[in-house]
Structure 1
């Protein structure tokens, strides 16, 4: 058996042929399990067979679908997108196999739980739980309606993502309209016959322009265009998805789609999510108002000084292509993960010099890779990133911390010409800049989280109107006129639907872990790193997130480090656990005892 089963040079015809073959092979296995005599089901002929085919299916499926994001050939990307649609529909069909579900129920009744390893027992319980969440205990009429609804949802999600991935919008600007952008960046841009510069809406162009260009009208045009990508098509899709998800949740006996997805998460209930977001909003609101006032003052001064009037895959992601698990022969499958990024390109005279934000993005996504690589799960269902969605970002957010610490920053950076290190004063300013605008940044994340929760607790939504209202209410800043940010928000159609709060929720855990274990002179400590690896990364999803955190911390997690990282004061009575003395009286904590830092 090949160690690496993945293949990147497939033709469009091969993608189609292999998709059909994968469906055929997998269907045969499900049919074989579904036709077993109920009285003859065993671990070997039911659970083990399903686990083996799941691994084979997952690896081949991800290979075929990955090509839509990275292939240079349009026909291959199109074939891969069609494969995604076909396989997603097949996924729905297999998830609704009541005959297979009945065999699993029979197995649970027949088998002695003590005869199974803990992970195998968890796997059986998870399959049964997923069967119930797919409605396999409900009457056939409801199952049929649910299957049709899920297929519609799947197709709409794929179309939404396809629209964004294939967006080729270009904006044209004169040299004067791009004031503030680096000369090497401008020198590498394509130009029109009348000497205008072409800017795309991919992240390297968009983020640099928004951050560095000092022409307000240019930034306004880029912002509006960015949040208007695929506006008409994706708004229609999103406003079809919301009622379909609500319908599916209702068929399954849930009050809303949010209630449905949260059942499997650490937060459990939308009331807990609402409380978390509302409390954080109240703490961040004064900080955000202070920052907004400060920024507006800077804006007025800049306008006066300059004489202005007031007025393919697009970013970065980790793809888990060949998950870690045990193969049928008992050997461990090698993990293969891919980082697909859009970072600053080299120019004719300068190599690719990454912005600090790009380095942070790389570390974040590489945190997902490490999670995959270090997992030692037996079953593919419990490999790496298959943890609860509101714990999923914790390992990736953990790794981000190292790009804000002086020691690792010195190790990873040099002047590209003379090899000199970053000057200490510049390094100090970079580290302190972590708290710049943290109030507004995190209030914006609350807007997205509340928007996601709002969409998924009802059966209809005017997406543009709701987003604009939340921007006004929480940020005090209007949305870009004529745009519709939700139509560009891909997390609404991937694994984060009803769960975008998970980014902030996970950060509570990542900050607690980092400042409890690594922050105080343990950044490069192999003993501490090994403990983190064994307690958090190695188990994958074989344990619940809260159990892994307790094993690592020796206590329940808390929000103290998270709040301090946002520039907020932690009251003495909220103090740190006595069993964690090294986390007290840190310089970092003292620095943030004030309301904010710029």
Structure 2
């Protein structure tokens, strides 16, 4: 078989040749690439020369390059364009990759070479980046069993192999449940309150399914408008319960046992390596350093925000009682009445804003911001293979019109794509031994598709989501260091959200909104008074939203910062973790843990707190821009250097170099409207 995944990519910019790749290519490609990577490791181990930084650490850095590229392609497809066959391959390949990773980390000869160099590091003339790379390589061995006894290494391999399989199964179950549910409505009166775009999208969905009427799903572009605008409270409850029951029903897709087993195995693994909990293991390599610091951080924010969250809900309760006679506000009422109060309080609605946020123009607005800040430009390319017709690809050029990166955008939902929004890479940046490799970056979202009558229009929340993911993309595109494993977003997890959350701030700036917020029918720029209302409303429900976000962080720490071996009921354990943050009655039969992909299938286990941690950083950073001017070239140049540096400098040192001081939570509290 002539396998395109195993051949050099003879394409523009060595981009992925998606048009040549068939599903049957993946498994043999993985098998071949793993074998090649093993040969590369053996070459390092059998080197007769004394261990050196170049022949061991740098050689280890570039080993497995083909395997990494194949993995990036495959697992991005498993997230953005999957099918039954790809999911089956993922189940087979994940334990293979886990086993291979352990073959490296538990290789005694390789570890001894790395350890020899690590113990000599003070005598070596290494750059800051090289020192960090050496530390990371050594820690990847010592933190993953290199110092264990042989029987313990065997147990670690078994744990990692099972974890790899369980995590894939968790994600597949959550996706299957999302795709399985739909609500078909044939009575037009049940659509009361819904905006035209939501009705049009539901009509298109029904036609796609050969159904009469209008069909709603659990995909966010369908689900969220229904929960926000549908006046039929019973139907809102029905959809809410369906969303909350994903992977929590008595069927083959139930994730309760997967959750318990993943948490149990992570704890056993941490204990085996000498850590009290999985969180202790993870946080050793984070800015926060320990579960105690994370819990103290979350509890402190909760102390500041809980009363404001309760006031937000009380305000909605009062409104619902007066307007509709509702005595007890429920969770399926929140988004609906929050929007109603917002319309009354600020005299505008999300629906009123949407015509000004045409997707293509918002994307162009993000590009303009990047150009003003960092001097980069984006040019649409038609000669690059796509994995789906919805994908648009750009060449990113620097201020001298030199190639900087490829940028893929994939914005619309489909059955083969998981929910949510994320940034990823098909290739990372590096510049080792004079071989400059520029990155291929992608952002994936789930916005409403254009309909027969309207282009894709975004809610303001979706605008901030796009800018958020674009911030991650900038981190990848601007990367300019030596080693790929430290490049771009390969930074500590509680630092990685700084660029993304920083970029969200620009969505509230009148100067920025004027760049892209034009009515899709009239071309009229968004009125200044509407901009002022957006700004005034920026803290609306901030208390509730903060408490909600903190609840997710506390749930994560409950699963990973405690001892989950004694858990009988996933539901009871989750309710206990949520209890300090509850501002609404608990809804029996729903559960978040079983579809909480960030921590059970993604990379955020013991790390969900980092969203709030990074908010402290981003608020402090943007306050600096506001003080000097949001497009101040000197401040922008310093922030660009922060983005270019990736993980080549310790994050706090990098931040202090940019800001001139350590971050303070004052800017966040001020922005949120909480007293300090």
Alignment TM-score, normalising by the size of structure 1: 0.89
Deviations 1:252-290 (A, max 9, x none): 111111111110001101111111111111111211121
| Matching of residue 146 in structure 1 with residue 156 in structure 2 | yes
Deviations 1:93-126 (A, max 9, x none): 3332232111111233567743333322321221
Q: Which residue of 1 aligns with 2:320?
A: 299
Q: Residues 403 and 409 of structure 1 are in contact (CA less than 8 Å); yes or no, is this contact kept in structure 2?
A: yes
CA distance in 2, matches of 1:73, 1:558: 46
Q: SS at the partner of 2:424?
A: strand
CA distance in 2, matches of 1:119, 1:529: 23
CA distance in 1, matches of 2:257, 2:466: 33
Given the alignment, which residue of 298, 306, 312 partners 1:277? 298
Higher mean alpha-carbon deviation, 545-554 vs 51-60, is at: 51-60
Q: Which residue of 1 aligns with 2:215?
A: 198
**What aligned pairs does 1:23-102 form with structure 2 within 5 A after superposition?**
23-37=34-48, 40-71=50-81, 74-76=84-86, 78-79=88-89, 82-102=92-112
| Matching of residue 235 in structure 1 with residue 256 in structure 2 | yes
C-alpha displacement of 1:195: 3.6
C-alpha displacement of 1:61: 1.5
C-alpha displacement of 1:60: 2.6
Q: Quickly say closer, same or farther: Cα 1:198–1:43, change in 2 above 3 A.
A: same
Given the alignment, which residue of 568, 573, 588 partners 2:674? 568
Q: Quickly say closer, same or farther: Cα 1:521–1:212, change in 2 above 3 A.
A: farther
Q: Which residue of 1 aligns with 2:275?
A: 254
CA distance in 2, matches of 1:263, 1:5: 36
Higher mean alpha-carbon deviation, 46-55 vs 246-255, is at: 46-55
Given the alignment, which residue of 179, 184, 187 partners 1:172? 184
Q: SS at the partner of 2:496?
A: coil
Q: Which residue of 2 aligns with 1:104?
A: 114
**What aligned pairs does 1:361-380 form with structure 2 within 5 A after superposition?**
361-380=465-484
Q: Which residue of 2 aligns with 1:529?
A: 636
Q: Residues 320 and 337 of structure 1 are in contact (CA less than 8 Å); yes or no, is this contact kept in structure 2?
A: yes
For structure 2, the 5+ residue unaligned runs are 1-7, 334-416
Q: Which residue of 2 aligns with 1:547?
A: 653
Q: Quickly say closer, same or farther: Cα 1:375–1:206, change in 2 above 3 A.
A: same
For structure 1, the 5+ residue unaligned runs are 571-598
| Matching of residue 434 in structure 1 with residue 541 in structure 2 | no
Given the alignment, which residue of 229, 237, 240 partners 1:220? 237
Q: Which residue of 1 aligns with 2:364?
A: none
Q: Which residue of 2 aligns with 1:22?
A: 33
Deviations 1:331-364 (A, max 9, x none): 2211111111110111111111111111110100
| Matching of residue 500 in structure 1 with residue 608 in structure 2 | yes
- The two structures, once aligned, show a CA RMSD in angstroms of 2.4
Q: Residues 323 and 336 of structure 1 are in contact (CA less than 8 Å); yes or no, is this contact kept in structure 2?
A: yes
Q: SS at the partner of 2:292?
A: helix
C-alpha displacement of 1:141: 1.4
Q: Residues 34 and 99 of structure 1 are in contact (CA less than 8 Å); yes or no, is this contact kept in structure 2?
A: yes
Q: Residues 288 and 475 of structure 1 are in contact (CA less than 8 Å); yes or no, is this contact kept in structure 2?
A: no
C-alpha displacement of 1:486: 0.9
**What aligned pairs does 1:327-406 form with structure 2 within 5 A after superposition?**
327=432, 329-406=433-510
Deviations 1:500-559 (A, max 9, x none): 11110111001100112x12462222332111111x201100111111111111111110
C-alpha displacement of 1:5: 4.4
Higher mean alpha-carbon deviation, 490-499 vs 63-72, is at: 63-72
C-alpha displacement of 1:448: 0.9
C-alpha displacement of 1:217: 1.8
| Matching of residue 324 in structure 1 with residue 394 in structure 2 | no
Q: SS at the partner of 1:480?
A: coil
C-alpha displacement of 1:415: 0.6
C-alpha displacement of 1:472: 4.2
Deviations 1:18-63 (A, max 9, x none): 11121111111112223334x6323332222111125443223211
Q: Quickly say closer, same or farther: Cα 1:27–1:4, change in 2 above 3 A.
A: same
Q: SS at the partner of 1:484?
A: coil
Q: Residues 64 and 83 of structure 1 are in contact (CA less than 8 Å); yes or no, is this contact kept in structure 2?
A: no
CA distance in 2, matches of 1:127, 1:521: 40
CA distance in 2, matches of 1:521, 1:177: 51
CA distance in 2, matches of 1:471, 1:426: 37
Q: Residues 15 and 64 of structure 1 are in contact (CA less than 8 Å); yes or no, is this contact kept in structure 2?
A: yes
Q: Residues 113 and 121 of structure 1 are in contact (CA less than 8 Å); yes or no, is this contact kept in structure 2?
A: no
Given the alignment, which residue of 208, 211, 218 partners 2:228? 211
Q: SS at the partner of 1:361?
A: helix
C-alpha displacement of 1:91: 2.4
Q: Which residue of 2 aligns with 1:415?
A: 519
C-alpha displacement of 1:164: 2.1
Q: Quickly say closer, same or farther: Cα 1:245–1:72, change in 2 above 3 A.
A: closer
Q: SS at the partner of 1:524?
A: coil
Q: Residues 92 and 151 of structure 1 are in contact (CA less than 8 Å); yes or no, is this contact kept in structure 2?
A: no
Q: Quickly say closer, same or farther: Cα 1:520–1:107, change in 2 above 3 A.
A: closer
Q: Residues 471 and 478 of structure 1 are in contact (CA less than 8 Å); yes or no, is this contact kept in structure 2?
A: no
